[in-house]
Chain A
Amino acid sequence: MPSGRHFAFADRLRTSSGAELTPILIFAALALLPAAAALAGQGHLISLFMRVMIFAIAALGLDLIVGYGALVSFGHAAFVGLGAYAVGILAAHGINDGFLALAAALLVTTLFAIATGIVSLRTEGVYFIMITLAFGQMAYFTASSLAPYGGDDGLTIHVRNTALGFDLLRHDQALYYVVLASLVGSYLLCRALVASRFGRVFRGARENRIRVETMGFDVFRFQLVAYAISGALGGLSGFLLANATNFVSPAYMSWHRSGELIIMVLLGGMGRLHGAIIGAAAFLLLEQWLSDLTEHWKMIFGPFLVLVVVFARGGLIGLAGELSRKLRRG
């Protein structure tokens, strides 16, 4: 018999033959970037791509539930913000240990995901979008009212997290590779999840929830676990963001940010994992480039996003696949 591999993804692979190769190329390019940037004397690229990778982690987590579970969370920035605040609040109390801050960020976001997921996963479709938005705004306003931690103005973090007392992250280069390792780890985790027993049930529930329930699976529990993992990835992203910017603010949690994460997922190509990475890169780099070009950059950026989402249903990955197919046909 055919070795059962790839049956599920057979169609997907057909649309983008380089599906296995693309993520490897992406990670290789990201690994070489600091050296290339140093050679070219473009040191600022390091912090720009660090930002890309940090948001890519959050977008990956979002793609896990949107792309594979059709759970459109419109409050995902709250997880990023909570993770960042875990770092900021601990630092405000003089606790700078990175492992402790990371553990706090993951714990807080996982618990927040479970608490809000228990409520929001009882709903579907538009109601799910609205409830996650409401929880996101709740976190935003709570952070704004945290007067001891800067309230609306946010909170400056004076020293980056340390690792067992060593000041490992002081240099951007070091932090860059920590972020890259986190991204690769998150990507591999999501890939394993999607292809696992758990992932099959979760993906099946998107296709036909009632069918999967009547097979004997408690779909709610699977969705809750996926939502918690997705939230924790947001927390990881927030932990890294706080360290990269040395700053935490309620703006990290605003619904604009949640919307941007959704756009990143759609822009790159939903339900493909590395699409979220490409989407985050395309979004942030384009934003950077256009805003250098003209102060009216949003007039170009907005319509561009609309065009991609409307005309390229598979996002940039889908577009690339289509182009290469047309070229091959001549």
Chain B
Amino acid sequence: MRVEALCKRFGGLIATDEVTFDVQSGELHAVIGPNGAGKTTLINQICGLIAPDAGRIIFAGTDITAMPAHARAALGLARSFQITSILPEFSVLENVALAVQARSGTSFRFFGRVDAEEALNAPALAALAEAGLESRAGVAARHLSHGERRALEVAIALALKPRLLLLDEPMAGAGHEETERLIVMLSRLKGRFPMVLVEHDMRAVFALADRISVLLYGRILASGTPELVRNHPQVIAAYLGTGME
């Protein structure tokens, strides 16, 4: 995926200012920056919830800048949400099975019990197993704990068989132990498909990222390997501060 000279204004505020970056196959590209730097606005433009004012987004060889969100998702652009976003009244299995369904044939099928379709249930259970949730398959998703909801998010993302996964602050609100668990889980997924990780937790970012782009006031301040970014004088001054070793 490649983002070229993307711009977005909200009135006088420039939320995204000529942002250009790309994600190579198998790579985990982290986007970091202080609050209000425009990270979520950027992600929302990539997945199609906000239309950019200028610039292009190329995904899998196609210009998707004007595509609606569901069409981008159908191309393989999957997103995991900042505020964990699941279907609360659906069972855990049904949450994931719906994601499998999105990738397997038409859903304009009006007869036949969907919950008896083995072709949907088996991959869904496999994704749940990978996320460590298979024992909770029959539970309504609203009964899951905070950490389990995040795991469910990951299972949904896996079931979507993404060609690119956008992770929007997966560690937000997670405790120390949970963050460690998530880092392990994400490092296992790394390499299977490219990922864009927007994250505050520097430990997670430096543990996982192949490349890092630093966003400040809507602009890319620096972009490169973790080593390069860590030692970038402007990044240290603007964001990382002197506390980083």
Contacts and interface: CB of A to CB of B under 8 A. Distances in A.
Interface of A: 1-8, 10-11, 192-193, 195-201, 203-204, 207-208, 210-219, 222, 225
23 contacts: A4-B97, A8-B115, A11-B140, A196-B110, A197-B106, A197-B107, A197-B109, A197-B112, A198-B110, A200-B107, A201-B107, A203-B90, A204-B98, A207-B88, A210-B85, A211-B81, A212-B98, A214-B47, A214-B78, A215-B70, A215-B102, A216-B160, A217-B107
B109 A214 contact: no
Contact of A208 (B86, B107, B125): B86
B66 to A, nearest CB: 15
Given A7-B91, A213-B73, A197 B101 contact: yes
Contacts of A196: 109-114
A209 B160 CA distance: 17
B108 interface: yes
Contacts of B238: none
B17 interface: no
Interface of B: 47, 49, 68-71, 73-74, 78-79, 81, 85-91, 93-94, 97-99, 101-103, 106-117, 121, 125, 137-138, 140, 156, 160
B98 A215 contact: yes
B235 to A, nearest CB: 31
A214 B113 contact: no
Contacts of A204: 87, 90, 98
A4, A196, A203, A218: which has the most chain B beta carbons within 10 Å? A4
Contacts of B86: 208, 211
Contacts of B85: 208, 210-211
Given A198-B110, A217-B70, A211 B87 contact: yes
A216 B74 contact: yes
A5 B117 CA distance: 10
Given A193-B110, A216-B70, A216-B102, A208 B115 contact: no
B114 A200 contact: yes
A200 B81 CA distance: 21
8 closest residue pairs by CB, A with B:
A216-B73, A7-B91, A207-B87, A216-B74, A197-B109, A216-B102, A215-B102, A4-B115
Given A199-B110, A214-B47, A217-B107, 14 more contacts: A1-B121, A1-B125, A3-B116, A10-B91, A196-B111, A197-B117, A200-B97, A200-B107, A200-B114, A210-B69, A212-B98, A214-B49, A216-B74, A222-B108
A195 B97 CA distance: 13
Contacts of B97: 4, 200
Given A196-B111, A198-B107, A215-B98, A4 B116 contact: yes
A108 B244 CA distance: 69
A107 to B, nearest CB: 19
A5 B111 CA distance: 15
Given A8-B91, A10-B91, A10-B138, A216 B114 contact: no
B196 to A, nearest CB: 14
A213 B70 contact: yes
Contacts of A193: 110
A3 B122 CA distance: 11
Contacts of B114: 195-197, 199-200
A200 B89 contact: no
A197 B112 CA distance: 8
